[in-house]
Each structure stands twice: as C-alpha cells, then as structure tokens.
Amino acid sequence: MNALRVTTIGGVLLALLLLTLALSGCHLRPLLYDVSVSPDTISPNADGTDDATNIAYQLSRNAVVSIYFENAEGERFYFRQERPRSAGDYSVQWGGGVNQRWWAEGEYGRQLVESWVLPDGAYTWVVEATAEDGESARAEGEITLAGGDTTVPELRKFAVTLPVFTPNQDGLADRTGVSYYLNKDVENVSVYLYHPDEPDVRYPLEEQERATMPGEAGYHYYDYDGGVDRGADPPPDGTYFVVGEARDLVGHHVVASSTLTIVDGGKPRAEVVNGTIHWGGAVRSLEGTEMYIPLGATLCFTTYIENYGRVPIRTSGPPSGAHYRSDQNYNTLAVESGEESWHQQAGVWRFGINFDISDTDFPYRWAVGNPDELRCEMIEGHEQCFLDAGQRGTVTGCVEMVGPFPRDAIFAWGGLIHEYVGISAENNSVDTLLVHIDKP
C-alpha cells in the first residue's frame, strides 16, 4: 500500500515537471543564439566580389533587435536599431552601409545624407536582443572593411531655376526647372515635388535629354511645365518642396531640396462663343454662307471669345476694331504703327481671319476683347493684357478687300489662335464664308 502511494506521487510529480517543461520549453534555449557574420572582411565597392557579409541569428522568443558596429574610438553606427522581431531564424546582407542621418554642408550647398558606407577599418559588430520580460542577450565579433567606395554622392548646387512660376501657357514664366551637378556615377536619381499638406503625393519631374545620361557624373537639368503642355492641369497653386534623391550601388542615399511656388496655374481654355461669326460690311446680297461684295469694299465681322478655363489668357493687339487692307497683315500693321507687341508672341491669344488665298496663316489678327473687357498691368516694364477666367470678350474688325485676287470667289473663316501653342479643332475654320468679289 505505501509503495503504491509513493509510485502514484512520483508519477504526479513527473507529469507536473513535464508540463512545466512543455510550457516553458523555449526557455531551454538562449534568447539569442547561432549568431554569425561571414565573411569577416568585405570590400563594399559594388565590384561583385566580397561586397557584403551575411549576418545570421536566431531568436527563441519575441524580442527587440539592434545590429550595430563600433570603431576603435567607440563610436557606434547602427544598421538596425530596436527593430521588433518574433521568434525564428533571421539572415540579412550588410554591405557596409549605415542609416544614421547627417547634414553635409559645403561650398556647393547643403544635403541630407540618409545612408552611407563606413570608412575602411576594423570594427566590432554587435547583435543585441531584448525580450518582452526584459531579458537581454548580446553577441559580438570583428569585421574589417577594406577597399570600400566611401565617396558620398553630391547633388551640387541643387537649385530651382524659377522659384515662382505660372504654368498656364501665357508665355510669361510658364516653365521652370531643377539643375544640379552630380559628382559621381550613381544607380539612379529621382526629382519630384510635393506639398507639405500631402507629403505622400509626389509630382515627378523628367530629366531633359542631354549628353550626360541620367545617373552619370556631370550637369543635369529637369524641365518642368506642370504638365500643361501635355493637356493636363498642373498641381494646385501653392508652395511645394522640390526634392532630389540620389542612390548608388554601394548604399549611399542623399537628399537635396528647395522650394517652388505655383501661381495662376492651369490649362488655358477659351472658345469662339457658339462657333459663330457675325459677318457684315458693304454687302450687295447675302445668301446663307455666301456673301457678295464689290472689289474695294470692306468685309467686317463681330464675334465673342469666352475664357471658360480657370486661368487668365494673355492677349495683344491690334485692338478690337482695328482696320486692315487685304494687302496687309498683323506684322506689316505692327511696323506701320510702331508696335512691337503686335508681332507673334509665345502664349498670346488672338482672334484671326484667314482666306484660302492668304500667303500666311491668319494674316489678320485682333485682341480677344475690347479694352474695357481686358485687365492690363505692367509686367517687367511692358503692359500685358488678359481676359480673365469666366469673362467674355468682344472682337470686331474689318478687312478692306483691295485686291488683286487670283479669282473672284474666295473662302474666309475665323480662328482663335494660341500663338506658338496651336489652334484647337473647335476653334479653327470657324463659320466659313464664301465671298464673291465683283469687279467694277
């Protein structure tokens, strides 16, 4: 009877012991174990030979892990700092780079170094783990860096060429750009802008094609129009950060930045109202789309231009109401009037009349509104006039048909011209008219 009781008690104790070991079995192993760093000498220079070492370790429980390196002076450089890890096996490649930010300032400007390669030399590597209950473990060893590429990329003189610009195709401050000089070849460079209220929304800039290829050492330039030339609206008006990031193959990552302000940005949009021209003049008879006038008479018109976009459109003379002879054009009229602004200007909108016998396209042109319908201001010493968004302008004009003409029936039509940009399909060949010219 006593022997049976002893055996029973022993069995219970053994069961309790086995249960305890099962519940805490992971504690049979150290928190951090099987740590290795191999090889122990690397040359981080992206030549494909011993560029990196493999860091491997195992955790028996969840822990926070740090991996860092110390030089002979005791300075600590983190590769991983207090990263949460669950129990398991881990392996990571290290190519000599560390992610400790610092500002590089010099004669070419200021940039943030996000990651960089440690100088050649002997270092102590350390892998540390701290469990949830506060237990900590540490392993360490020696590693040597030799022949590494420690030249940090520099986006020298990183600058925005026009810090305030108006991407609206009016010919005034429509384009800006970013320029810099790259001191070494890198894997890639990205340039973009973002608004501080929406840091995750990036607007990339495209590098202008040059002899220096993207990522090569040398001068680089990024042209920027806000996307307007491709028919898109630019980012909303405001002040943006412009950022350039360069990364090379060995792990350097640098960031340079500036600011850019967008004002009056938008794709300009205007039209001839209802696609209609009210033709008139010395008319003998008018039958639908045909008009009969004698040689030497005057062909006149009235039409209306509406700015239905969100930005002003710039215009220039001759003013609405100007009178042409058929042997003149806007260039000769400008010379005769001493007006430099009546020649073609990039970004200017004007309404024009064209004939199928004209030597130049739309030789007769007018501003897109009467003076009292336009807003004019002095910009860099020159008066510039605009038809504001949502406004309508009245255009009137006359062409005296003095001839000679190659035939007695010619076609006339109107068009809304955006000079050096184009004429949209809906604003071209407007209200075509067949004009019969009677000789005396």
For residue 344, give the nearest of 430, 231, 423 by alpha carbon: 423
Other residues' Cβ atoms within 10 Å of the Cβ of residue 65: 19
CATH code: domain 28-100+118-145 is: 2.60.40.2550
Q: Which amino acid is at 59?
A: L
Joined tokens for residue 252: 């350097």
**What pLDDT, on a 0 to 100 scale, did the predictor assign at position 244?**
98
pLDDT of 223 > 60? The answer is: yes
**What pLDDT, on a 0 to 100 scale, did the predictor assign at position 81?**
94
If you classify domain 155-262 with CATH, what class do you get? mainly beta
- C-alpha–C-alpha distance, residues 324 and 314, integer Å: 22
**What pLDDT, on a 0 to 100 scale, did the predictor assign at position 47?**
94
Other residues' Cβ atoms within 10 Å of the Cβ of residue 258: 17
Q: What are phi and psi of 35, to 5 degrees?
A: -90, 135
Joined tokens for residue 29: 């192993």
Identical topology for domains 28-100+118-145 and 155-262 = yes
Angle CA 58–61–66, to nearest 5: 60
pLDDT of 82 > 80? The answer is: yes
Largest CA distance in the chain: 148
Joined tokens for residue 150: 């420690």
Q: What is the b/e burial string over 159-179, where b = at least 16 CB atoms within 10 angstroms of the residue's CB?
A: ebeeeebbbbbbbbbbbbbbb
Q: What is the DSSP string of 194-247?
A: EETTEEEEEEE-EEPP-SSPTTSSEEEEEEE-TTGGGT---SPSEEEEEEEEEE
Residue 372: CB partners within 8 Å, gap ≥ 6?
Answer: none
Greater model confidence, 17 or 170: 170
When pLDDT is cut at 50, 70 and 90, the band that residue 19 belongs to is very low
For residue 176, give the nearest of 162, 191, 196, 158 by alpha carbon: 162
Are the beta carbons of 314 and 386 closer than 8 angstroms?
A: yes
- C-alpha–C-alpha distance, residues 435 and 287, integer Å: 11
For residue 307, give the nearest of 428, 232, 389, 369 by alpha carbon: 389
- C-alpha–C-alpha distance, residues 77 and 125, integer Å: 10
Going by the DSSP 8-state scheme, the letter that residue 23 receives in this structure is H
Are the beta carbons of 339 and 402 closer than 8 angstroms?
A: no
Are the beta carbons of 169 and 421 closer than 8 angstroms?
A: yes
If you classify domain 270-438 with CATH, what class do you get? mainly beta
The pLDDT of 222-242, averaged and rounded, is: 93
Q: Is 261 helix (H, G, I), strand (E, B) or coil?
A: strand
Other residues' Cβ atoms within 10 Å of the Cβ of residue 365: 30
Distance of alpha carbon 163 from the chain centroid: 14
Q: Is 330 helix (H, G, I), strand (E, B) or coil?
A: helix
Share of the chain above pLDDT 70, in %: 92
The pLDDT of 32-39, averaged and rounded, is: 97
Q: Which amino acid is at 177?
A: G
pLDDT of 8 > 80? The answer is: no
- C-alpha–C-alpha distance, residues 326 and 331, integer Å: 13
**What pLDDT, on a 0 to 100 scale, did the predictor assign at position 7?**
47
Q: Is 84 helix (H, G, I), strand (E, B) or coil?
A: strand
What stretches of 20-62 adopt beta strand conformation (E)? 32-38, 41-42, 53-59
For residue 294, give the nearest of 286, 283, 305, 308 by alpha carbon: 283
Going by the DSSP 8-state scheme, the letter that residue 338 receives in this structure is T
- C-alpha–C-alpha distance, residues 58 and 77, integer Å: 22
- C-alpha–C-alpha distance, residues 96 and 69, integer Å: 10
When pLDDT is cut at 50, 70 and 90, the band that residue 259 belongs to is very high
Share of the chain above pLDDT 90, in %: 82
- C-alpha–C-alpha distance, residues 186 and 248, integer Å: 4
State pLDDT tens for residues 394-435: 999 999 999 889 999 999 999 999 999 999 999 999 999 999
Q: What are phi and psi of 52, to 5 degrees?
A: -150, 160
Which pTM was predicted?
0.81
Q: What are phi and psi of 63, to 5 degrees?
A: -160, 165
Other residues' Cβ atoms within 10 Å of the Cβ of residue 323: 14
Distance of alpha carbon 290 from the chain centroid: 51
Q: How far apart are the first and last CA of the chain?
A: 148
State pLDDT tens for residues 178-208: 999 999 999 999 999 999 999 999 999 999 8
Domain boundaries, the chain: 28-100+118-145, 155-262, 270-438
